A and B are shown apart, each in its own frame.
Chain A
């Protein structure tokens, strides 16, 4: 069912099965018919672990979105709220429960906190006088959602810092309560997004990265404009064009997608055309099929071939859509400016392209992304430049954005240069962040994912595995935040002997989000023959520059 999760070195399907089991157990605790009231935010992540059919098997008859006032009518015995532990949501739930029709049939209320129960929320329910109405109040620890064979995400917008300390604590707390587990991972690398503010700001240039940049991938689904996907039939003069967005799931269960997702977009076209030839050749085979046995064999391959053809058609359409964007002049101009910044050209001056974007009132997020990129690539902007940009933004987009500017400053994305020193060139040179000779078709270095820029975060991971961080201590000192390494001694019984040629597995945990391009870069490293390390990636949130800036924007009114 979710075979794509079990391919990797570490079988993540186990994780998915575990959360599914937990969900079933909870549902079975509430006997009788049920309606689920969803915190809208949770529906996406839940879709990755359980389909409606699973819920239906456990007598879930209705689903609603959590809203104020009264619950919609439903002839069910149980009402279950699936919510994040948020005070605002508690207020809504209380409203729901209190306005429940007393004369109606008695119903049982339950609440499932995702991912954690919260004393605070329960206190709030108590204050509102409804705590007693809930029969089961439980937590559902949907912490890490398996997205793909090597990718886990917590899908939470905000995450803790200083997790490392806490993990060491937790280790002490949980000893004894858990049996010794045979370790699946050899190393764990925790990376705080603060260390690398730069990478997400740049436009991702891998296939998957571009899909995300342009259309936004939500919980592994993407919604695309439908025109390109209209079935091409003769006589159908396009009057029945579908108007609803085309929704596609993207993961490595799809063979073709697995092959092209992490490629630089410029290398995707050739793969697609090669694939097209292979498939049509395969279909041509039927003319060669003479004997009954041959025909039978051909027919048995048909479903697979048809799926492949469908998949090819989809991705060809997507690639066309993306190409329309990437060949546009504006995209080219923007990319040029980004690359100038990242290679350290004119980062200390007001950029005229950015100026023009503001003057033409391009989307604010685009402008902010560029300015933040410039700021990060210059270790902060000169006060004069910064004030000019800010004034332009306030005058053009409205003074209310002063709050957004301030929160970007707090996040370190858009700030004045401290001490008048620009550390970025040192970092860039030592870590070889800018590579001039990029081979987009057959990459030799991770820099292909941004056509020149090698993501800092991934470079750090690469250097950690070989030759180790001792060689770059100078740079680590400049990077924000402390760094440290901790060795965890294993009981001797659990130490495994590595087979010759067997790679080490590193779990790399991005605190504060990771981009698809970074993932692509890590997968590239995993596949390197002499790399010696395979990566499994976990994160608090899958993100790109746009969603990141969006989360930092504050909109009054």
Chain B
């Protein structure tokens, strides 16, 4: 414990910096780091090394090797570089390695050295070659900035969505600038260039000269510049040995430090912690490392060997051939607790817990001291927080133990922060493990989120660990386990040496019906690798037909797609496949396919009904569906044809079809319709007026109304209109004409098949009581009462009803006895009723 603060170095009055070892590297580096292009990804990411033979001798006969290691030095990939000379390496935010070639081509590799894709930075770059390149990260993704041989800059702010921007010319830039960097302000990427004593800021529109405020005089050149992790601060190293620190906007100066070294530093990076007021710069020369801040003194370290600095969110990682270290400002909580002679509540609590373990009464004293100040809650929080910032599990444990101890003396201390810290530390310790090699700090982990961490583990193919973490943290399956299993499956399908069956089986065994796993995504990946058969096998496991279909179509398994679509019951999907098939197959084959799929066929018919009438006909023809074919022609006779001849011809076809369908009734009816059409045409020619498209009934009516009784009779006979209806028809027509004479003649032509009540009714409807009465007398006894009441002869109606001794009729008549005149009648009925009851 005494030596706990041994590696703490004060910088100024208020801050300590400490450096501790993350890993001892046992990578067998053949080269010196200084001979290599080096790229290390932030957030404890992988390290890429490429021996750079192009720097010294031209056209080296030996091809260099591109090597990728984890942060702990475990080899991840090694491949022979076969493309052109590389100027710069860098990692994207997705942990893809971007290799910028001299010709402006950027080759993208995965973490395991698998080639992903390549893109070009444009013709201008190709012509002028690449002089220097930087890969940088903004909130939009990873960008590439290039300095060409013509001393111009080209930039793409997001390699995922490649948009090249050529930056404006820098005045007076004739040779390579002494240093430059990319900035990101107000959501736009900019470039800061140092040309001799001048600084220029380039954005897509203009090039403007800038001067850092309060810069010590006498500067004739800037040797190095560094921008902070968050793009908020900028540091400049001048040839006078001064380090200027200020805001990236160059509007404000933070401090300046004279280090008295004029040699250009090898690397210069920011070392600051989020939410800390301290700003510091780490500067590295060949054998010297210096931490410089707003303090008269600096912290100096000696570098035993070639080292490389990796700026992080909350510190700097430093790796060399033999070790990998982390340098950062000691966080407040740790400082409070561990500072020598600290009386902070956390420090006391830690002490109390230690005494408690020693079974010493001092524990109580310390505890009482904290409680008296009312700082126990704060003490617990401090211990929890400090635990998060410790790299070594032993120290984490002892801090957490203290927190747990302190918690016992508190009422209602919410347990979440403690529990969550324990969980987070377990996850962190797991990924920091030497075999995994992701040395994340607590702040980095929180910034990165668990989702991204899981993605990174998946990228490293550490599926079991990722799943264990998900299960440990109880993440929802869709976000956690399912997603990882799906990734695993996607990786699995790329294993070309395993047979389709085995892969499919293995995947299904692991995934089973895990909710949220999309088999179709995995199948799509398999298809992407050229394994169509495997893809089909995998799709079998996909429960959602909707997901199977598009891929099957893409793989040209249209028929399978069709049956899947039908299974899904989603008509839209079926239509989609059908239209696809229709374009793919010739008509005959298409129809044959349909024939085997009744549901598809009926859907397609629906479609044709609205969209392609002719195809519909062909379909019916092929199926010998004469009934539908008949209906089709009927429809055509109304819709498509204008001329009578055409309509009759269509109807003839319909009739033929109906005969073939053995639908005698429809055939006959259609023939009748043809006959009627021709006849109506003749009537129009001979009599004028409008007959076409009237129904037979209406045609006869029209004839009667027009006084052509003979023709009407003839027509009724020809078409065998039943007598009853004919009588109704004539009755209605004659009443409409108010041709009472003809009506009477008609009524006497023979005995009415519909009785005479309708005559009465219709006369009354035309308000002709006189005529109505004529017929009332002829109405049969069953309906006589009704008829008499209709014509208003209540008295007689009563007589008839009494005679017929019909109770219902009596009531009916009674209900009509409303006027004063009907009083007598009503009495009569009552009497008759009474009599009837007596009997």
Please list the residues of chain A having a beta carbon within 8 angstroms of any beta carbon in chain B.
85, 87-88, 116, 118-120, 123, 160, 162, 165-166, 169, 172-173, 175-177, 355-356, 358-361, 387, 390-392, 394-400, 402-403, 406, 554, 556-557
Q: Which residues of B contact A160 (CB under 8 A)?
A: 569
- Answer yes or no: B693 CB below 8 A from chain A CBs: yes
Partner of B697, one of A116, A173, A361, A557: A361
**The 8 A-B residue pairs with the shortest CB-CB distance in the complex, in nearest-first order:** A176-B515, A556-B638, A359-B728, A399-B673, A398-B695, A396-B697, A359-B725, A395-B696
Q: Are A166 and B569 in contact (CB under 8 A)?
A: yes
Q: Are B725 and A87 in contact (CB under 8 A)?
A: no
Q: Which residues of A contact B575 (CB under 8 A)?
A: 118-120
Q: Are A406 and B631 in contact (CB under 8 A)?
A: yes
- Answer yes or no: B323 CB below 8 A from chain A CBs: no
Partner of A85, one of B572, B573, B635: B572
Q: Which residues of B contact A398 (CB under 8 A)?
A: 693-695, 698
Scan residues 448-503 of chain B and give those whose CB is less than 8 A from a CB of chain A: 477-478, 482
Partner of A175, one of B515, B610, B676, B695: B515
Q: B786's closest neighbor in chain A, by CB? A: A329
Q: Which residues of B contact A88 (CB under 8 A)?
A: 610
How many pairs of A and B residues are in contact by the CB < 8 Å rule? 113
Q: Are A87 and B695 in contact (CB under 8 A)?
A: no
Minimum Cβ distance to chain A for residue B538 (Å): 17
Q: Which residues of B contact A402 (CB under 8 A)?
A: 631, 634, 666, 669-670, 673
Minimum Cβ distance to chain B for residue A490 (Å): 17
Q: Are B665 and A396 in contact (CB under 8 A)?
A: no
- Answer yes or no: B722 CB below 8 A from chain A CBs: yes
Q: Are A390 and B665 in contact (CB under 8 A)?
A: yes
Do A395 and B516 contact each other (CB < 8 Å), given the known contacts A123-B579, A166-B569, A556-B635? no
Partner of A395, one of B569, B607, B635, B719: B719
Q: Which residues of B contact A176 (CB under 8 A)?
A: 477-478, 482, 514-516
Q: Are A119 and B638 in contact (CB under 8 A)?
A: no
Q: List 25 A-B contacts (CB under 8 A).
A: A120-B572, A120-B575, A165-B569, A169-B568, A175-B515, A176-B514, A355-B724, A358-B725, A359-B727, A360-B732, A391-B665, A394-B669, A395-B721, A396-B696, A398-B693, A398-B698, A399-B669, A399-B673, A399-B676, A400-B634, A402-B670, A403-B635, A406-B631, A556-B634, A556-B637
Q: Are A173 and B544 in contact (CB under 8 A)?
A: yes
Q: A178's closest neighbor in chain B, by CB? A: B515
Residue from A160, A400, A402, A554 having most chain B Cβ neighbours under 10 A:
A402
Q: B725's closest neighbor in chain A, by CB? A: A359
Q: A86's closest neighbor in chain B, by CB? A: B610
Minimum Cβ distance to chain A for residue B269 (Å): 42
Minimum Cβ distance to chain B for residue A468 (Å): 29
Q: Which residues of B contact A390 (CB under 8 A)?
A: 665, 669
Q: Are B638 and A396 in contact (CB under 8 A)?
A: no
Q: Are B695 and A399 in contact (CB under 8 A)?
A: yes
- Answer yes or no: B430 CB below 8 A from chain A CBs: no
A165 to B543, CA, bound (A): 14
Mark B685-706 against chain A: 1 for CB-CB distance below 8 A, else 0: 0000000011111100000000
Mark B548-587 against chain A: 1 for CB-CB distance below 8 A, else 0: 0000000000000000000011001101100100000000
Q: Which residues of B contact A397 (CB under 8 A)?
A: 695, 697
A358 to B728, CA, bound (A): 10
Partner of A118, one of B543, B572, B724: B572
Q: Are B725 and A557 in contact (CB under 8 A)?
A: no
Q: Which residues of A contact B665 (CB under 8 A)?
A: 387, 390-391
- Answer yes or no: B799 CB below 8 A from chain A CBs: no
Mark B668-690 against chain A: 1 for CB-CB distance below 8 A, else 0: 01101100100000000000000
- Answer yes or no: B611 CB below 8 A from chain A CBs: yes
Q: Are A355 and B634 in contact (CB under 8 A)?
A: no
Q: Are A173 and B516 in contact (CB under 8 A)?
A: no
Q: Are B572 and A557 in contact (CB under 8 A)?
A: no
Q: Which residues of A contact B607 (CB under 8 A)?
A: 87
- Answer yes or no: B639 CB below 8 A from chain A CBs: yes
Q: Which residues of B contact A169 (CB under 8 A)?
A: 543, 568-569
Q: A117's closest neighbor in chain B, by CB? A: B572
Minimum Cβ distance to chain A for residue B213 (Å): 41
- Having A120-B576, A360-B732, A390-B669, one finds 17 other A-B pairs with CB under 8 Å, namely A119-B572, A119-B576, A175-B515, A176-B482, A176-B516, A359-B724, A359-B729, A392-B725, A394-B669, A394-B695, A396-B725, A397-B695, A397-B697, A398-B698, A399-B673, A406-B631, A554-B635
Mark B82-109 against chain A: 1 for CB-CB distance below 8 A, else 0: 0000000000000000000000000000
Q: Which residues of A contact B263 (CB under 8 A)?
A: none
A109 to B573, CA, bound (A): 25
Q: Are B515 and A403 in contact (CB under 8 A)?
A: no
- Answer yes or no: B644 CB below 8 A from chain A CBs: no
Minimum Cβ distance to chain A for residue B79 (Å): 40
Q: Which residues of B contact A557 (CB under 8 A)?
A: 638-639, 693
- Answer yes or no: B754 CB below 8 A from chain A CBs: yes
Do A395 and B697 contact each other (CB < 8 Å), given the known contacts A119-B573, A360-B728, A400-B638? yes
Minimum Cβ distance to chain B for residue A243 (Å): 26
A387 to B694, CA, bound (A): 21
Minimum Cβ distance to chain A for residue B761 (Å): 10
Q: Are A403 and B631 in contact (CB under 8 A)?
A: yes
Mark B514-536 against chain A: 1 for CB-CB distance below 8 A, else 0: 11100000000000000000000
Minimum Cβ distance to chain A for residue B56 (Å): 54
A519 to B725, CA, bound (A): 39
Q: Which residues of A contact B694 (CB under 8 A)?
A: 398
Q: Are A395 and B695 in contact (CB under 8 A)?
A: yes
A392 to B754, CA, bound (A): 16
Q: Which residues of A contact B610 (CB under 8 A)?
A: 87-88
Mark B207-250 against chain A: 1 for CB-CB distance below 8 A, else 0: 00000000000000000000000000000000000000000000
Residue from A87, A120, A387 having most chain B Cβ neighbours under 10 A:
A120
Q: B674's closest neighbor in chain A, by CB? A: A399
Q: Are B722 and A392 in contact (CB under 8 A)?
A: yes
Q: Which residues of B contact A403 (CB under 8 A)?
A: 631, 634-635
Q: B696's closest neighbor in chain A, by CB? A: A395
Minimum Cβ distance to chain A for residue B338 (Å): 46
Scan residues 699-743 of chain B and give those whose CB is less than 8 A from a CB of chain A: 719, 721-722, 724-725, 727-729, 732
A224 to B673, CA, bound (A): 40
Q: Are B516 and A177 in contact (CB under 8 A)?
A: yes
Q: B628's closest neighbor in chain A, by CB? A: A406
Q: Which residues of B contact A406 (CB under 8 A)?
A: 627, 631, 666
Q: Which residues of B contact A360 (CB under 8 A)?
A: 728, 732
Q: B482's closest neighbor in chain A, by CB? A: A176
Partner of B728, one of A118, A356, A391, A400: A356
A396 to B477, CA, bound (A): 68
Q: Which residues of A contact B669 (CB under 8 A)?
A: 390-391, 394, 399, 402
Q: A352's closest neighbor in chain B, by CB? A: B724
Do A120 and B638 contact each other (CB < 8 Å), given the known contacts A387-B665, A390-B669, A406-B666? no
Q: Are B754 and A356 in contact (CB under 8 A)?
A: yes
Q: Are B515 and A177 in contact (CB under 8 A)?
A: yes
Minimum Cβ distance to chain B for residue A387 (Å): 5
Q: B695's closest neighbor in chain A, by CB? A: A398
A212 to B607, CA, bound (A): 33
Q: Which residues of A contact B637 (CB under 8 A)?
A: 556
Q: Which residues of A contact B478 (CB under 8 A)?
A: 176-177
Do A172 and B732 contact each other (CB < 8 Å), given the known contacts A395-B721, A400-B634? no
Minimum Cβ distance to chain B for residue A128 (Å): 13
A261 to B43, CA, bound (A): 70
A391 to B664, CA, bound (A): 12
Partner of A399, one of B514, B672, B727: B672
A121 to B639, CA, bound (A): 26
Q: Which residues of B contact A355 (CB under 8 A)?
A: 724-725
A508 to B729, CA, bound (A): 48
Partner of B639, one of A116, A162, A392, A556: A556
Minimum Cβ distance to chain B for residue A555 (Å): 9
A162 to B567, CA, bound (A): 11
